[in-house]
Amino acid sequence: MAYSIDSFGTPLKLQAEIGKRLAQLRLARNVTQQMLARESGIGLRTLRRLEAGEPTSFDTFLRVVIALGLGDDLLTAIPSYDIRPIERVENRGRERRRARPKAQGQQNQPWTWGDETPD
């Protein structure tokens, strides 16, 4: 099933879907909650909360992901940003360290091709 950016609507819906998928994967691998909790180094109640889509820490999530062998898959889902050679030249070899807000006149202007004529 393909998801759009707005498929989940809220972080809580996304959290619930992630918990559900982790539980399905655990069951598909025939691993009990107790075994996964022990392998992850977390409490059984904490794992149950994660699988139920309830709030848990990011550390808990990562521990379970690593115990399930999904660390590389998680990193694949979040692409690495490598500076392009042209950007390196434009920035004189320096990489961006912080974001800068757009100039005052650039905010909330719709994108155009630039060849529009006034009506």
pLDDT digits (tens, 9 = 90+) for 81-93: 776 777 767 777 6
Domain that holds residue 40: 11-77
The answer to whether residues 47 and 37 touch, using CB atoms and an 8 Å cutoff, is yes
Query: Does the residue 89 lie in any domain?
Result: no
Number of domains in the chain: 1
User: Pick the residue with more confidence: 56 or 93?
Assistant: 56
CA distance 40 to 65: 8
pLDDT of residue 79: 77
114 or 102: which leads in pLDDT: 102
Structure tokens belonging to residue 22: 């982790």
Structure confidence at residue 32 (pLDDT): 98
Q: Is the dihedral of CA 19, 24, 25, 29 positive or negative?
A: positive
Q: How many CA atoms lie within 13 A of 17 on its CB side?
A: 10
Alpha carbon distance 111, 119 (integer Å) = 17
CATH of the domain at 54: 1.10.260.40
